[in-house]
Structure 1
């Protein structure tokens, strides 16, 4: 019993985390008033990034994140409809173009961090990989890279790619706003709905881990929720209030990743991240245009599928923009899996190649 009490106490945010969440909530409210897409995530993200730059006493509510991420997974699963899979053949071309897209994206990003940023080869390699922050941080740290720079590089990538994608959608494309992203009124859910959606959130996490899926906290609940909605056992999304809370926590955590870094270092890393993100987005636009020409998919959908942001964030954007969540989620799942499984072997192969190429010639040869 004492262990349970201690665990629950550990989930209660400290004063700095509460302050960060307060900034996040206020920033989200202002973003919603301004009409910004996905305001309850982007607002807290921007607000807490500024708070970190100004060295305000904020701290990311990291222990709350695993609790709210399953809510996002359940929400994403509630957007799945049987008709989405009627044209599943389009996945083949999209997946076939994904590996060369990732290679080119990683190469241009590596050039930015190595040639412009003057990062060491290990740090530049794992900073450039368009994969998960936690996974690249673990692999990069084990390989001897600068963990703080790797973390900042990926935090900047997620933050800036989201902002660039929102800007792109807001100015260049005509898309409809998704209804599911706003959630359902709590009164619209029956007791059975609450029970089934809650079970999807709770049981989905161990399912995702058992299946060894990337980001199991979101993918597992998304799969279970999707199944429940596809078979008709549930027809509503999670309550809108829970979705807002989850997005505020996620946005606050992303913004607070810049805590403890000097303003000059944040400016430098964000500048490098911006340059890298622009290069990645350029590759994504070209790849999406090629995919659209081949398959006839809308550019808005193919571009979102190839945008190198986080799985959770890109899926949320797809939902908020009225796009095909299943398609976008599948592409980002495969992207993250490819990067995670290929990063370390490719790194080792390139290191062996570099070392063998710099060996001095044997005497007499």
Structure 2
């Protein structure tokens, strides 16, 4: 009986070509599924669709054995773009409002941060989620900023993202329902996305310059999450200090969000996903508790200070700043400057105090 002929071994270039083709097909599948998920989320009017859609597609790929990863250079650049976006969104108009009502703002922000930190501490203390992950996941600041910073402080970025974006969805939907109780917003349409707007050369150049200069600054200063924080600091300085406007077209934001979403999602494994879904009831309970706490805070502000109830509720709503701004703009009797001033103040305080709170909780958990 003749032995079967041996196949000639593949040479190294052929193996490398096959590996590249496998990676190419993986990226193509992730891209197609990302577009489908993002489109479905946009049709459902869910917030942060441009980030959550790619992240869900990457989670599906990562838990099914995908081997591709976003290059660190692209991920760092995407973080810098988000830092520039946050810096450009801070308006100098909020400072007179903050100055006029600073005791109210400070009290409301500290109460919300204390409540969210307590919930995060309890989730960590009860071993539902590891380490300081629950603290970062419960932080009522900008979701993307919290996710990017969490990884630099030892928290599990994947679970933080799971908590943050789940809260964004819950908070945005609740705020929309509450707003509808006071104002008929059924006829109000969300502005259409302009993917390729006319480019303002000066503003766009300032934004791109901030992305690269801020990322370099963050690395030189050895900041945690250097790309995000470095660009945020640099961009805020030139935006508020010199009045430089920023322009980040929607196509650039979409690409950056996709990079962030893919980077997080591809690191999910079946074990991590199982752990996240097992903790889902407790996470939802903590989100509902925080929403209820902020609702009670809004009631007190409205009752004792005579502020419009809807204004007070939207101002204290814990997260989803972009969605809150759209809802506030749709309701004509809402003081949008008050809403955005309180939302921005809380975001800045959480951004600055988040690392210290996380370290404090981590030290208490070890004791």
TM-score bucket (shorter structure): 0.5 to 0.7
Q: Which is further off, 84-93 or 315-324?
A: 315-324
CA contact (8 A) 1:200 1:221 kept: yes
Per-residue deviation at 1:41? Answer: 2.1
Structure-2 separation of matches of 1:231 and 1:128: 32
Distance 1:71 1:319, change over 3 A: farther
User: 1:66 aligns to what?
Assistant: 76
CA contact (8 A) 2:62 2:268 kept: yes
Per-residue deviation at 1:201? Answer: 1.6
Q: Secondary structure at the match of 2:97?
A: coil
User: 1:203 aligns to what?
Assistant: 213
Per-residue deviation at 1:172? Answer: 2.4
CA contact (8 A) 1:156 1:273 kept: no
Structure-2 separation of matches of 1:134 and 1:236: 21
Does residue 127 of structure 1 match 2:142?
A: no
Structure-2 separation of matches of 1:113 and 1:268: 14
User: 2:281 aligns to what?
Assistant: 271
Distance 1:167 1:315, change over 3 A: closer
CA contact (8 A) 1:184 1:238 kept: no
User: 1:340 aligns to what?
Assistant: 355
User: 1:303 aligns to what?
Assistant: 316
Q: Secondary structure at the match of 1:258?
A: coil
User: 2:253 aligns to what?
Assistant: 243
Structure-2 separation of matches of 1:334 and 1:45: 27
Per-residue deviation at 1:87? Answer: 0.8
Structure-2 separation of matches of 1:329 and 1:289: 20
CA contact (8 A) 2:90 2:236 kept: yes
CA contact (8 A) 1:19 1:57 kept: no
Q: Secondary structure at the match of 2:66?
A: coil
Distance 1:71 1:213, change over 3 A: same
Unmatched runs of 5 consecutive residues or more in structure 1 = 1-12, 141-146, 308-313, 353-365
**Deviation digits for residues 249-276 of structure 1 (CA, Å, limit 9, x no counterpart):** 3333444453342664342033333233
Q: Which is further off, 30-39 or 212-221?
A: 212-221
Does residue 331 of structure 1 match 2:352?
A: no
**Deviation digits for residues 4-42 of structure 1 (CA, Å, limit 9, x no counterpart):** xxxxxxxxx954455434422332233334443333123
Normalising by structure 2, we get a TM-score of 0.67
**Deviation digits for residues 271-330 of structure 1 (CA, Å, limit 9, x no counterpart):** 3332333333333333444455566482354234x43xxxxxx45545666666665344
For the pair shown, which has the larger CA radius of gyration, 1 or 2? 2
Structure-1 separation of matches of 2:364 and 2:37: 45
Distance 1:51 1:272, change over 3 A: farther
**Deviation digits for residues 109-139 of structure 1 (CA, Å, limit 9, x no counterpart):** 4444555xx559xx36653454545766676
2:41 pairs, out of 26, 31, 39, with 31
User: 1:57 aligns to what?
Assistant: 66
User: 2:142 aligns to what?
Assistant: none
Structure-2 separation of matches of 1:23 and 1:170: 28
Per-residue deviation at 1:161? Answer: 0.8
CA contact (8 A) 2:50 2:258 kept: yes
The count of residues paired between Structure 1 and Structure 2 equals: 318
User: 1:6 aligns to what?
Assistant: none
